[in-house]
Chains A and B, each alone.
Chain A
Amino acid sequence: MSNFFDKSDLVRKDAENIVSDTLKNCDDGELYLEDSKSESIVLDDNKIKSSNYSSDLGFGFRAVSEEVVAYSYSNEISKDSLKNSAENLQSTLKSIKGTYNNEIPTSNKKFYNDINPIEQKTLNSKLEVLNKVNDYLRKKDGAVKQVTANFLGEHKSIEIIRSGGESITDIRPLIRFNVSVMLEKDGRKETGVYGIGGRQSYDDYLQNDNWKSVCEEAFRIALVNLESKPAPAGEMKVVLGPGWPAILIHEAIGHGLEGDFNRKKTSAFHNLMGQKVASEGVTIVDDGTIDNRRGSLTIDDEGTPTERTVLIENGILKNFMQDRLNARLMKTRSTGSGRRENYRHVVLPRMRNTMMLSGKQTQDEMIKSVDKGIFAVSFGGGQVDITSGKFVFNCTEAYEIINGKIGSPIKGATLIGDGPSILKEVSMVGNDMMLDPGIGTCGKAGQGVPVGVAQPSILIDKMTVGGTKL
């Protein structure tokens, strides 16, 4: 646990007093302290291209009054700096009369261990694995023309000090291991990318030469793409594979169910609470409590313990994801979804691990039912326009389906759909729910936070596929 007051002229008692004084007429707010260390080691083009280490320390001070948020941050933890911030907040929130909400739930549960993945493994042993990855893939096939592999490790220690001096802390490990391989054959180049990660040590992922399976998967995807044909264009049936394709759920539904967009009535879902927004059999939860997952959090960035929030149950919209501010204004409770990228940013309601739960059908039944369509196995990034509800995502591995059979692989195409209606087009839900491998980062308002997704195979009756073949 970091002691933020160790090397500072700011003593804890003074910090507590400044916080309590500044927030006394506010509805909410806190001092958020953060000490994070991160490393990035990249092998590229046959060499260790970079090994970077970064250490970041700072605080963010937030005062909330009714709908107004005043925020000030600094990377200098000192008495002067905190006082400057306090003055800055007070100048924004002149003549306010709120009552500070002291209530914050507590919990003893923890969803990951207090480990520092960066220090647990020597740099040399990480370099060794990256070099093995490079050798393994290049020896595997002469078509391998480029290999990039990298480790990302993070150790973040946070403390939240609320008015009255209540202190809440958390230590968050996070790692990611990624392999990208480019193949060239007959003048054609294609790339395959695969990665794994979560809130554990590197060794939890890499024991028994597990890195090989990551290499194999990246290689397999690149190989499939070498054979790919132009994708079809137009509306058709789409079968999504289990696991990572659930970023469709994340983009199409998840963002639209975040509290802020609904309080502001800018989400296409804001007036649909309690209504049917999906086919029967579709249940979607956002869960921060799965052990060691990338999107899991013991507490959110306001200090609220996370939970498993049911968003859609059997097709009916049940809950939005809330931070404290939006919960207060919408007269509900925080779902432990208040997150920020780091101390430089304000808290926003965000997703954690967003999951569609298993149904009864098999993937086989879905494929067999399709005359003309595509089978999408893996995706790159996605994006949504919250207001119009339109969302896209890009296939990185997909096949055409003709007369109930999987055909040739097709080139990366964008799929576009309409968030509020897409889940009504889901006509089969598979029995094969799978978690993604732990690689997702969600962007919102310029802030990236680690998230997870999960889903079974699903059949969507109508979606527009953005290929080039008419």
Chain B
Amino acid sequence: MIKDQDFLKAKAAHCLDVAKKIGATNASVTIGHSISETVNFRNNNLDESNRSDGLVFTIDTYIGKKKSSISSSNLLDQNLNILIEKCYETTKITPEDEFNSLPDQNLLADSLQNLNIYDDTHIENGKKIDYLKELESAASEDTKIVNTESSFTEKKSNFILANSDGFCSGYKTSSFTASCVAVAKDETSMERDYEYSSKRYLDDIKEPKSLGKIASHQTIRKLSPKKIGSEKLSVIFDKRIAKGMLSAFASAISSSAIARGTSFLKDQLNEQIFSNSINIIDKPDIIKGLGSKNFDSEGVKSETINLVKEGVLKSYLVDTYNGRKLKLKSNGRSGGTTNLYFENGNQSYDELLKMNSKCIYITETIGHGSNLVTGDYSVGATGFLVENGQFKYPVNEITIAGNFKDMFKRIFLANDLDFEYSTNSPTMMIEGMTVAGK
């Protein structure tokens, strides 16, 4: 059973007490508990079952403007006392930093909205196995599929965040995730692809048959890929890849990157960084949203922010520490974005595909080719050659490259946004990228 709020609150109160008693001027504690159960299948047979049950405790202790932190998974009172003392001793010899402080009290979340992000339903491993059997039998129907691996994970978490200013709040969350990775083979090639579905509520998970079928279809269509020549081309990013562009954007506007001066978007507030058709929103209160939350990792209330309005950067993602450095108020984004998305564009998916007589449709990128200091972008990619809106043949062993500053201004979006992930984008096209192949 997941530990209840009372248990976590009592532990948190104990920690704050101990910290205060030994001399900390302020303290902040997070205690989290999560239980997850996973069943893995491979080629229609049970492969692995995995159960995890873990508590995590983190405390920040302050002595004036000095701060230090400790974390542990061992929550016996005796161990906690030793660690808090060690944390306090470390704090004493850590230099002062004028920007260290607890968040402003008037910014803290004062009430909790029910976001429907916890489903108490428990699915027994036997039922998970039934789901996976159905999924894998659908995924492996085609004889070109030579291997399938799939899994079902149920996760329940609870946490409490408490600080010495009297903030004490937390709530339960749940997630159910089913995934399938398939391998297909023909005379000349072997390819892998996947599909998954992750939801807050068990009933919202994709049907096993359709999940398996999609995984199988997406894999088979990649067989016998070709390498293409090097040229400037428009690149279409499948939704599952397009969201990565938003993640890079979010990292570049984090207040820590801005304060440190290590972002290509430094000094761009109120500047046009996208074309004027682009709007980017971070919305924490989407019902059942995978990124939904009431407050950030410091307890600051999270509200909807229009990060980019008609192409203009309107706001950074601000936490307390970096906010003080930048003379900005925290906007409840310590720990990052919530449900981040591009608003829909004004053309359909088909129209986007036909905008150029020749383009590359990317379904997967590999490598860590985003440099957020310079904005340079270069990654390995696999996908399809598209001519006049028609998928021609699969393509791999190519790279796509550009610089975010130029790429952002040449983004076109389809109108097919949905909320499959916590960060979501409609299908995206970026004109004039360098594709390197032969």
Contact = CB atoms under 8 A, between A and B. Distances in A.
Interface of A: 7, 44-45, 47-58, 67-76, 85, 88, 91-92, 123-124, 127, 145-146, 182, 184, 188-191, 231, 233-235, 264-266, 268, 344, 346, 380-388, 390-394, 411-414, 416-418, 464-470
A387 B192 contact: yes
A344 B56 CA distance: 13
B74 A392 contact: no
Contacts of B378: 231, 394, 412-414, 466-468
Contacts of A146: 260-262
Given A7-B76, A234-B438, A265-B147, A70 B71 contact: no
A71 B90 CA distance: 37
A383 B367 contact: yes
B70 A73 contact: no
B368 A123 contact: no
Contact of A47 (B51, B68, B97): B97
A123 B94 CA distance: 9
B117 to A, nearest CB: 23
Contact of A393 (B47, B55, B259, B367): B367
Contacts of A57: 73-74
B230 A388 contact: no
A244 B125 CA distance: 44
B52 interface: yes
A45 B54 CA distance: 34
A71 B367 contact: no
A470 B232 CA distance: 8
Considering residues B73, B83, B260, B438, which has the most beta carbons from chain A within 10 angstroms of its beta carbon? B73
B183 interface: yes
Contacts of A393: 367
Considering residues B97, B230, B259, which has the most beta carbons from chain A within 10 angstroms of its beta carbon? B230
B261 A264 contact: no
Contacts of A50: 67-69
Contact of B373 (A189, A417, A464): A189
A301 B10 CA distance: 36
Contacts of A384: 366
Which 7 A/B pairs are nearest by Cβ-Cβ distance? A466-B399, A392-B380, A392-B367, A387-B192, A233-B436, A75-B73, A234-B230
B269 to A, nearest CB: 18
A470 to B, nearest CB: 6
A76 B69 CA distance: 22
B231 to A, nearest CB: 7
B48 interface: yes
Chain B interface main SS type: strand
A80 B324 CA distance: 47
A70 B48 contact: yes
A381 B54 contact: no
B53 A74 contact: yes
A45 B325 CA distance: 11
B380 A466 contact: yes
B396 interface: yes
Contact of A268 (B51, B190, B259): B190
B434 A264 contact: no
Interface string B56-82: 000000000001111111101011000
Given A72-B51, A182-B261, A385-B192, A416 B397 contact: yes
A414 B261 contact: no
Contacts of A48: 94-95, 97
B146 interface: yes
Nearest to A72: B51
Interface residues of B, number: 76
B46 interface: yes
Given A54-B72, A67-B45, A91-B125, A414 B379 contact: yes
A231 B377 CA distance: 12
A466 B379 contact: yes
Contact of B396 (A45, A266, A388): A388
Contacts of B366: 383-385, 390-392
Contact of A387 (B46, B183, B403): B183
Given A68-B46, A91-B125, A390 B74 contact: no
Contacts of B225: 388
Contacts of B74: 55-57, 75
B104 to A, nearest CB: 21
A329 to B, nearest CB: 12
A49 B60 CA distance: 13
Contacts of A388: 189-192, 222, 225, 382, 396
B53 A464 contact: no
Contacts of A127: 93-95
A465 B400 CA distance: 10
Given A127-B95, A466-B400, A233 B73 contact: no
A70 B379 CA distance: 37
B374 interface: yes
A406 B222 CA distance: 39
Contacts of B51: 71-73, 85, 88
Given A48-B97, A392-B380, A69 B262 contact: no
B87 interface: yes
Nearest to A65: B46
Contacts of A387: 183, 190-192
Contacts of A88: 49, 51
A386 B149 CA distance: 14
Contacts of B380: 383, 390-392, 414, 416, 466
A190 B83 CA distance: 40
A234 B437 contact: yes
B46 to A, nearest CB: 5
A52 B191 contact: no
B175 to A, nearest CB: 15
Contacts of A71: 48-51
A261 to B, nearest CB: 10
B86 interface: yes
Nearest to B370: A394
B401 interface: yes
